[in-house]
Amino acid sequence: MRHLVGACLLIAVAGGASAADNVRWRETATIAAKEAGWGRLARLPDGDWLAVTTHFHANAPTTLTLSLSDDNARSWSQISSLAEPGRKLDNGELLSLPDGQVLLAMRSLIDGESYRLNLYRSRDRGRSWNFLSTVDRNEAPRGRRDRGLWEPMLSLLPDGALSVLYADETLADGRPSYNQVVSQRISTDGGASWEPKASIVAQPGGGSARPGMPVMARLGDGRYLLVFEICGKDPHCPVSSKLSPDGRRWPAGLGKWLSHQRCGPHVLATQEGRIFATSCQNEITWSDDGEHWRRNDPPAWPFGFRHSWPALYQTAPGEVAAVNVVGSGAVQVRFGSFDVTEDASNPKSGFTNPLLPSGPDPWVVRHGDTYFYMNTLGKRLAIRKTTDLTRLADAQETTIWTPPTTGPNAQSIWAPELHRIDGKWYVYYTAAESGHDDDAHRGIFVLENANDDPTQGKWIDRGRLQTRYPGIDGTTFAHGGKRYFVYSPYIGPDSVLAIVATSDPWTLIGEETVIARPDNAWERQGGRQILEGPQFLAGPKGDLFLSYSGSACWSDDYAVGMLSAPAGSDPLHASSWTKASRPILAKDAQRNVFAPGHNAFFDTPGGRETWIIYHANSGPDMKCTAKRSPRIQRVYWTDDGRPRLARPASANVFLTAPAR
């Protein structure tokens, strides 16, 4: 009787939500139109979505189909499939890794003979797959169909370890006997090998209860919420939940009942802090703490109870997507909007580009946990200071310097860069002489500030760098115990890239060396032959990389190229540098990204991730104006230590934020 009273009380607390709180369901997209089931998604680093569905065949075992969407899950194209001869494949689960690889786990079986959970890896966004490992297996079920392994669910833990949860029937013949448990295995080498499994949900003392179909999500406070069904006495399999501090340590027992949900649950923790759950009951419930739940009215799919295996994903800020099997073998996704007041103590885990409506020639540098941002303002220099770059628009802008009314640096203040050198701050910027706003009268100038906070203290004018030629876009970097300066000088009709050594941040020594000229066709668009905006990037294997922007900034074909120098080479020698023939970041008309360029690189606290910031236009023929807006995306590294960029994401596509 005490148990029934508690259950009724929970139902009363978890009543319906107000209309303002409810998800408002809108359009529907089709992932697979027929002969399909069990749809699961993963967002790739560039904002594209990958889907896996089970495909049913009339006279052959089931296989898996992979589909791709480049318009935020609104339309889908099949790109690959996966089969294992003589074996059924289903319960596909995707995980997009920080390095750009994708993992695919699935159930692989021959009924009554062999049960496996296999893991595959793709290095080309799901177009091809290679076997990686078997997570668990039962090769001696003795003809029984209730000794299998089911529903693998992949997660990446904060320390980089890989977790897989799954329903496990292999302990049914033990003493004590567990009809089914939820098992977890951990891999510290990307899924190549696995630690011994742990039973994280099991009936105390063993018995007929069948906890399974586990899914977990990391909450905004760092805890993990696990949802799972418990089949046995109730054929509709009530859903329960558990909370873990780290995704590894779980309380014993069968958890806490989750109202309004039955069979095959799924859970989503959004960037706004709201948590959504669904199941084969085809209800949507939501919570702000993972413990107290409210039912959304109406549901995404008004089916009532059906074995349709739904799943939930966040496709944009304030937008949730519900994937489901509908009709006779179609897998669809329905989108809905929700409103929530964001808690400042629970910051966003995602963002959308652009970061600001205006920000040409953006620059970011990190000092400790703080990011400092600058961009071209034309008539002044200003810094924004923030610990969360995705909230750059909320950061106060502090003007640190205005030009004199006359002199060599009086106008056209462009391309500022903030550098921390030997315990002081330095700003490098381009300026033109008063009365002569032309290429022949442009140069690079330096300011110095000894304050630990560059938005405070006094800036000292260290004057113009004595470059051999007039030029723009100066930058500096240290390598091998020496410091270098690179800029874009005007030499004849060309803007080129030149390098020179320095003795201090404002003094050049030795001869300048031209290391690159605009000799590729893509660097000669817009009526000019231009290389500009050089930026240094250190490779993980000791190689040097120098990005630059090619073509006229008013051309839609303005793009980012790359020079490289092998480890141990002398950057002052032109022969050390090799130029890639194609840009590493270029316009993408399909995504409304035009003239991307003038980039900088930065890393996250602890050097965990490398990112690029660049400006771009959101439409064609927008020229070289203040409408160029700053965007960021992650830089990945290939196995041989070279930087790799994904396609630029469309504006307002939800992306994973930099690590904190």
Active site (catalytic) residues = 361, 532
Nearest-5° Cα angle at 579, 574 to 581: 155
Report the DSSP beta bridge partners of residue 486. Answer: 475, 499
Tokens of 416: 């500022």
Separation of CA 80 from chain center: 23
Q: How many residues in the chain?
A: 660
Inter-residue contact 385 to 398 (CB < 8 Å): yes
Q: Which residue in 175, 195, 165 sits closest to 91, CA to CA?
A: 165
The b-or-e profile of 548-577 (16+ CB within 10 A means b, else e) is bbbbbbbbbbbbbbbbbbeeebebbeeebb
Distance CA 133, CA 316 (A): 33
- Please report, to the nearest 10 degrees, the dihedral formed by the alpha carbons of residues 393, 396, 397, 401 taken in order: -160
Longest Cα–Cα distance of the chain, Å, equals 91
Rg over CA atoms, the chain? 28
Separation of CA 500 from chain center: 37
Distance CA 389, CA 343 (A): 17
Inter-residue contact 51 to 76 (CB < 8 Å): yes
Q: Which amino acid is at 212?
A: G
